[in-house]
Structure 1
Amino acid sequence: MLVDIVPVGNVSANVKRSASAALRSVYDCDVTIHDAQSVPNGAYDADRNQYTAETFIQLAERVGRGDKNIAITPHDLFYRRRNYVFGLAYLDGSGSVVSTYRLQTSSDGGFSNQSAADIFEDRVRKEIVHEIGHTYGLEHCDNNRCVMNFSPTVREVDIKEENLCGSCQRLIS
């Protein structure tokens, strides 16, 4: 299995490395980093001052060279009527997206003693693994420690682990 990471906009080398390492660790897959892409035409919604997540998925599917392709962007994303999303993927699809925009807060609320940079890196790793999990057909998991747990706030992202629980792992094995 090959996962192609498609940076959209100015994505740091650290973010790309973290995403790649997490995917290799959890899914034991090959990972490539695509050339950086521009924001897709029509993605920006001026009324919301945000970008529509679906257009980033379509871009990843169109330009990515992997069996699974994931766009990573620093832009703030939304989906339908949700105020924002950390990421989006379609079940069993080939494309997905993660936004780092709302993962960059200075603290995890006292959950750990990690630096802000380490907290951010952990969040990126978890969200990348989560969205690719959906492309493998995994739905949200009720186990709040599983990476596939639905996490609408960074606090909930911080609580979960980077790995799949046993039940989710068995579904993709």
Structure 2
Amino acid sequence: MHVDIVPVGEVSARVKREASSALRSVYDCDVTIGDGQSIPTGAYDSGRSQYSAESFIQLAERVGRGDKNIAITPQDIFYRRRNYVFGLAYLDGSGSVVSTYRLQTSSDGGFSNKSASDIVDDRIRKEVVHEIGHTYGLEHCNNNRCVMNFSRTVQKVDIKEENLCGSCQRRLG
């Protein structure tokens, strides 16, 4: 399996490196990093001052060269009626998106003694693995330590691990 990371907007080398490393580690897949892309035309919702997550997924599907493609952006994204999302993917789809915007909070609520940058790196890794998991057909998991657990807050992201639980691992086949 091949996953292509599609940077959209100003995405640092560190973010791309963390995302790539996490995907290789958890899914044992080939990972490439595509050329940087501009924010999709029409993605911005001026009433919300946010960007539609679906526009980034469509861009990833269109320009990505992998079996699975993930847009990574520093923009604040939303989906339907949710105030914001960290990422979005469709089950068994080829495209997905992760936003680093709301993952930047420096504190993890005291879960660890890691540096602020290490905490953000961990969140990026977890969210990228989570969204690609959806493209492989994995739904949200009830195990709050599993990377496929739904996280409404960064504190929930911090609690979970970067890996799939045994049940989700078996569903992958």
Q: Which range, TM-score by smaller chain?
A: over 0.9
Quote the offset at 1:4 in angstroms. Answer: 0.1
Report 1:62-141 matches (<5 A): 62-141=62-141
Residue by residue over 1:91-130, the C-alpha shift from the partner in whole angstroms, topping out at 9 and shown as x without a partner, is: 0000000000000011111111000000000000000000
Partners of 2:143 and 2:109 lie apart in 1 by: 21
Residue 32 of structure 1 is matched in structure 2 by: 32
Query: What is the TM-score when the length of structure 2 is the normalising length?
Result: 1.00
Residue by residue over 1:62-83, the C-alpha shift from the partner in whole angstroms, topping out at 9 and shown as x without a partner, is: 0000000000000000000000
Partners of 1:73 and 1:168 lie apart in 2 by: 27
Residue 169 of structure 1 is matched in structure 2 by: 169
Residue 43 of structure 1 is matched in structure 2 by: 43
Partners of 1:112 and 1:103 lie apart in 2 by: 16
Partners of 1:65 and 1:11 lie apart in 2 by: 18
Residue 59 of structure 2 is matched in structure 1 by: 59
Partners of 2:110 and 2:138 lie apart in 1 by: 30
Partners of 1:111 and 1:46 lie apart in 2 by: 36
Query: What is the TM-score when the length of structure 1 is the normalising length?
Result: 1.00
Partners of 1:12 and 1:172 lie apart in 2 by: 30
Residue 3 of structure 2 is matched in structure 1 by: 3
Partners of 2:34 and 2:125 lie apart in 1 by: 18
Residue by residue over 1:119-167, the C-alpha shift from the partner in whole angstroms, topping out at 9 and shown as x without a partner, is: 0000000000000000000000000000000001000000000000000
The number of equivalent residue pairs is 173
Which aligned segments of 4 or more residues in structure 1 are displaced greater than 2 angstroms?
Answer: none
Partners of 1:89 and 1:102 lie apart in 2 by: 17
Structure 1 unpaired stretches of 5+: none
Structure 2 unpaired stretches of 5+: none
Residue 16 of structure 1 is matched in structure 2 by: 16
Point out the more displaced range, 105-114 or 95-104.
Answer: 105-114
Partners of 2:148 and 2:111 lie apart in 1 by: 20
Partners of 2:135 and 2:110 lie apart in 1 by: 32
Identity rate, percent: 83
